[in-house]
Amino acid sequence: MLDLIIKNGLVVNADKTEKLDLAVKAGKIAALGCCASFSQAERVIDADGMYILPGMIDSHAHIASTGVEFDSLDDYYSGTIAAAYGGTTTIVDFSFLKQGETPLDALERKLSEANGQCVIDYSFHPCINKADPEHYAQIRSILRNGFPSVKLFTVYRGSLMLEKAGVYEMLKMVAEENGIALVHAECADMIEYNIAQAIANGKTMPWDHAKARPPITEIEAMYGVVSMVERTNAPVIFAHLATGQARALLEKYRAQLPVFAEVCPHYLTLTEECYQQEDGYNFVCSPPIRSKEEQDALWTLVEDGLVDIINSDHTDFSSLQKAVHKAYFPNIPNGLPTIEDRGLVLFSEGVQKGRISINRFVDLTATKTAKLMGMYPQKGVIQPGSDADLVVIDPKPQKVRLVSEHHMKTDFSPFAGIELSGKVVHTIVRGCFIIENGAFTNTNFRGSLVKRTSPIL
């Protein structure tokens, strides 16, 4: 007896789309083919006219984030429910260090916070902000024990930033341990100077945040990191790329070096004019949202295959938190609530508008992420033996996104007013329905910690 059959749907992988029936047993995909050839199942779902995709993986999400002045509103329960509503079945969060913590301290704290709370599967990227032998040794041990990815910052001096000597040491270690580094690449020196000049001249509104971090601050930092990759051959993902001016770098180096690029949906849908709105403070994130020309250039990078993954970079602050320092951008909490909308925004703006194929969508949101994160083929693909992590999307519904319909804890959305084409009907994690007919129904299921292996490059 099978647990589940999904029949009459279009099964989509990164390489092909087929009209197939799908069988699930004990949390795994048991078979693909014609349901007439399957055993009986406890449950049968008709997905006629719908896409059956691998569950989306969001490998850049910040949940239950703590800051100097503000903590994000979500916890691992509410945050992963919101993710599931958007078709995400696995997240990879970050274990940022609090004052006085070591990388291992921070990871153990985040593991404890997430344990028994997530309604989808989860993992973590360890973080390091200090060029210190003890911290290096801990990161090496963590990379070897199921968390083979490390987050590095070239900006935010005094908090998240790792000095260049440390970045170089970490990239050597990543290469030695067959891991991968995620790099927030912005030039600290330039940005610090620009912010100081802005403050001195009384230019501290949200619009001035964008002006303080022009595209050159990304490009300069990326070239610095690439020069280290040339010498270490360490795989690197440039996180949340916000400028199409990275084309020359990506075209030159991707053929010869393990250099990968991530983009987020807000950079593909919003423009810098949002900072001139009355609620412009709500859109403060780093790198900032840029011009329409930059947005078009980013889409071209996606279409030309120069972008590998599209993640949310979610942080769930409220408009009240954002507004506390609305006239002084250096203190506005950074980040946008996007974990619930990432998939459908990309589906609507990419697939439904003909910019990318449905197969490319799967690659960007699931398959390539699973490979780079060391989860493939357990996740990121629909094939016998893989986890039955599935999202069923009905492409037909169209509606304007309303903040009132969100399941995140915030009271605003950067995508409010955007017309979405399609609906997440079911989200299934290891064979268990989390979202069923568009509603969160399984309050008992809890996701598992995913211990990962070396990236598939």
Calculate the average pLDDT of the chain: 97
pLDDT score, position 37: 85
pLDDT in tens, 321-356: 999 999 999 999 999 999 999 999 999 999 999 999
The pair phi, psi for residue 185, each rounded to 5°, is -105, 100
Cα separation, 140 vs 374, whole angstroms: 16
Residue pLDDT, tens place only, 356-392: 999 999 999 999 999 999 999 999 999 999 999 999 9
Q: Is residue 260 predicted with pLDDT exceeding 90? A: yes
% of the chain with per-residue pLDDT over 70: 100
- Structure confidence by residue, pLDDT tens digits, 42-94: 999 999 999 999 999 999 999 999 988 999 999 999 999 999 999 999 999 99
Q: Tell me, rounded to whole angstroms, the distance of Cα 330 from its chain centroid.
A: 24
Cβ–Cβ contacts within 10 Å for residue 176, how many? 12
- Residue % of the chain over a pLDDT of 90: 98
Q: What integer pLDDT is reported at residue 35 of this predicted model? A: 84
Confidence tier at 39 by pLDDT (50, 70, 90): confident
> Which region, left, alpha or beta, applies to residue 430 given φ > 0 means left and ψ of -120 to 50 means alpha?
left
Tell me the two tokens of residue 28: 């795994």
pLDDT, position 235: 98
Closest of 433, 413, 440, 234 to residue 338, by C-alpha: 413
**CA 277 to CA 265: how far, in whole Å?**
20
Q: How crowded is residue 42: how many other Cβ atoms within 10 Å of its Cβ?
A: 10
Q: Is 402's pLDDT higher than 90?
A: yes
Residue 279 has pLDDT above 90, yes or no: yes
DSSP 2: B
Q: Where are the alpha helices (DSSP H) in 38-149?
A: 76-85, 103-114, 133-144
Four-point Cα dihedral 235, 237, 238, 243, nearest 10? 120
Pick 197 or 39 by higher pLDDT: 197
**DSSP, res 36:** G
Query: How far is it, in rounded angstroms, from Cα 80 to Cα 330?
Result: 29
Tokens of 304: 């030309």
DSSP bridge pairs for 152: 183
**Exposed (0-12), middle (13-18) or buried (19+): which is 394, by Cβ within 10 Å?**
middle
What is the distance between the alpha carbons of residues 20 and 10, in angstroms, rounded to a whole number? 6
- 350-354 contacts at long range (C-beta below 8 A, 24 or more positions apart): 350/268, 350/302, 351/395, 352/395, 352/421, 352/422
